[in-house]
Structure 1
Amino acid sequence: MKKIIVTGALGQIGSELVGTLREKYGVDRVLATDIRQGTEHSGPSAILDVMDGKAMHDLAKDFGADTIIHMAALLSATAEKNPLFAWNLNMGGLMNALEVARTLDLQFFTPSSIGAFGPDTPKNNTPQDTIQRPTTMYGVNKVAGELLCDYYHQKYGVDTRGVRFPGLVSYVTPPGGGTTDYAVDIYYKAIADGHYTSYIAQDTYMDMMYMPDALQAIIDLMEADSTRLVHRNAFNITAMSFEPSQIAAEIRKHIPHFTMDYAVDPMRQAIADSWPNRIDPTAAVQEWGFKAQYDLAKMTTDMLEKLQQKRITKAIS
């Protein structure tokens, strides 16, 4: 990667990815695009509706991009509330981005998700290659996206790459409509209120990852030797698997008075129940050396420290 255009640059991952890429490759070598104007990034930026394929093509060409990282998408719970819009945005935007990669000969990355699995998928140590019959529009989008990226690689030779992200936890970006966002919100509420009401039921295990590991995984995969990649698109990756009471117990090591109760959201619970408890990242480890640095304890310590710092800084300002 030398010159990179990022779509969805103000989203959950994009808002942090742009800064990480600029630190590594240079501020002027990363073009941040989103459908709205934001102040999160200092550097090259542009307003872009990913449904406008010509505008995306022209931006990438004028910038001289050799890589497109396509992050613009509707998340799981939000997509389920408006499935037609989710299909049009998630699939239409992806097709436009792939066409830009094909016509300009760009390296290409887009994320898939554990949402690409369904209730018939093996729950524990979910294999890289297994049955994928999701029961949500978000999941259907992700499976279709994985296949579409494979198609563009096999038919046109586009250097497509991707991972299946688990739930992502970040102190930078607040919850944004994902099923796993309880694992972000719980830290905010622990500091602000000392209490959290979980919309996910106790004993519901889901894969999770701290954002620094997710960002590093993108860079590592994109820099990997292409001859080693057997799967290319939608590598299983994970750092930890836990259920709500475990994260609450870890928080109590730092905030002893913290309490949690439950008010289960049937829609998001149904989505969570259809996903694996823990996936097997062996293919990613073997093909491009994936390795996570954060477990639940290390992530909790860092999350609480960073959020406390943010709260103090905001109070001062």
Structure 2
Amino acid sequence: MSVLITGGTGGIGVGLAQELLARGKDVVLFDIAPQSQRLTDIKDEVKIVQGDLKVWPEMLNAVRDNNVDEIFHHGGMLSIPSDLNPWAAFQVNIMGSMHVLEAARLFGVKKFIFASTDATYGLGTGAVIDDETLQRPITMYGAGKLYIELLGRFYRRKFGLDFRSVRYCTVMRPGVKIRTLPVFMLWMVENAALGEPFECFAAENVVVPVLYYKDAVRATMQLYEAPAEQIKTVCYNLAGIKPTPTTGALEKAIKKFIPDARITYQPDPLVMEYYRTRPVSTIDDACARQEWGWKPEFTDIEKVVADFIEEVKTRGDFWGVGVDDRR
């Protein structure tokens, strides 16, 4: 039997693969555009299946042909691309996820871990959100993720699938190429580490809940390994750095390590409208802490920035860092 990871060669996907291999699991990575540079250390230990979530037979075949009994579903379109092309986002993020759930049902998959997002919260939110806060997303991306959270709960009740989900906030990691709403937090650090200037498209006082990628991987594995009887909430918030940083606080942390970092600000009105509509500054992850012992290791912004810079400088090829091919 094997574990399948959709979006398997993404930053979190590869991190999960490494953790699963260390536990003796057979791992299958399903990805529409495999990033082979990230697999150098594990290429002989994993199986790569190039496929498209929205093509149902490809998903069915991947699960059936590899005797998959557990799935981590991390594949999909990101926030800004989803808003720019909601029709494609519907096919990939909603229908594609339905394909993964149906493959799980048809072929007897036992456990299903879904990567959701704090973007499922939107209209009417205040400064603090917890697992009981009403979810009314304002983006196509958030709407799609919320639908799959609810669909997963249905599959859990109707078909006995052990569906579990984590809601990531902004995951800090190098190598992100696609512009998303909060990607300015990532690019600000990466550009500084590369000696490149960065014009931030949010104001200095914008507050962005962030989670370091190493904590994202560790939390997902903790949820995966938690005994079934401990899973009560099913879909869980995750918090990372505290206090939640502003873009200005991030700039200050960067300049502690790179004093000559060139950072300026030119706020994008659409980005600013999003953060005005959704003024979340604190994520309450008490349910994850109480039910399966979640506790982040990277809670200090300077610790995150230092490790991020080290990743860029020592594993740039792995991450594919650089500013020329962003979009």
Q: Same fold (TM over 0.5)?
A: yes
CA displacement at 1:174 relative to structure 2: 2.5
Q: Tell me the number of residue pairs that the alignment of Structure 1 and Structure 2 aligns.
A: 308
Structure 2 residue aligned with 1:216? 218
Deviation at 1:194, TM superposition (A): 5.4
Matched, 1:308 2:309: no
Matching residue of 1:239: 240
Q: Residues 39-76 of structure 1: CA distance to partner in whole angstroms, max 9, x if unpaired?
A: 23213111111112232222212211110111111111
Aligned-residue offset at 1:19:
3.0
Structure 1 residues without counterparts, runs of 5 or longer: none
Distance 1:153 1:311, change over 3 A: closer
Does the 8 A contact of 1:119 with 1:273 survive in 2? no
1:75-224 paired onto structure 2 within 5 Å: 75-106=78-109, 107-124=111-128, 126-171=129-174, 173-193=175-195, 195-224=197-226
1:298 maps to what in 2?
303
Shift of 1:167: 0.3
The equivalent residue for 2:284 is 280
Q: Which residue of 1 aligns with 2:230?
A: 228
Aligned CA distance change for structure 1 residues 312 and 46 (closer, same or farther; 3 Å): closer
Residues 135/236 of structure 1: CA separation in 2 closer, same or farther (3 Å cut): same
Secondary structure at the counterpart of residue 209 of structure 2: strand
Deviating beyond 6 angstroms after TM superposition, the runs of 4 or more aligned structure 1 residues are none
Question: Is the contact between residue 10 and residue 35 of structure 2 (CA under 8 Å) also seen in structure 1?
Answer: no
Give me the CA root mean square deviation: 2.0
Question: Matched residue of 2:257: which SS?
Answer: coil
Alpha-carbon separation, structure 2, partners of 1:290 and 1:251: 27
Deviation at 1:305, TM superposition (A): 1.9
Q: Are the equivalent residues in 2 in contact too, given 1:134–1:274 (CA < 8 A)? A: no
State the identity as a percent: 26
- Describe the superposition over 1:135-189 as per-residue Cα deviations: whole angstroms up to 9, x where unpaired: 1111111211111111111111110001110100113x33433222112111121
**1:102-156 deviation per Cα after TM superposition (whole angstroms, max 9, x unaligned):** 12222101111110000312222x1211111111111111211111111111111
Query: Using a 3 Å threshold, how does the CA distance of structure 1 residues 37 and 308 change in structure 2: closer, same or farther?
Result: closer
After TM superposition, the score normalised by the length of structure 1 is 0.91
Classify the secondary structure of the residue corresponding to 1:131. Answer: coil
Unaligned 5+ segments in structure 2 are: 321-327
User: What is aligned with 2:7?
Assistant: 8
Amino acid at match of 2:31: D
TM-score (norm 2): 0.88
Q: Distance in 2 between matches of 1:312 and 1:130?
A: 40
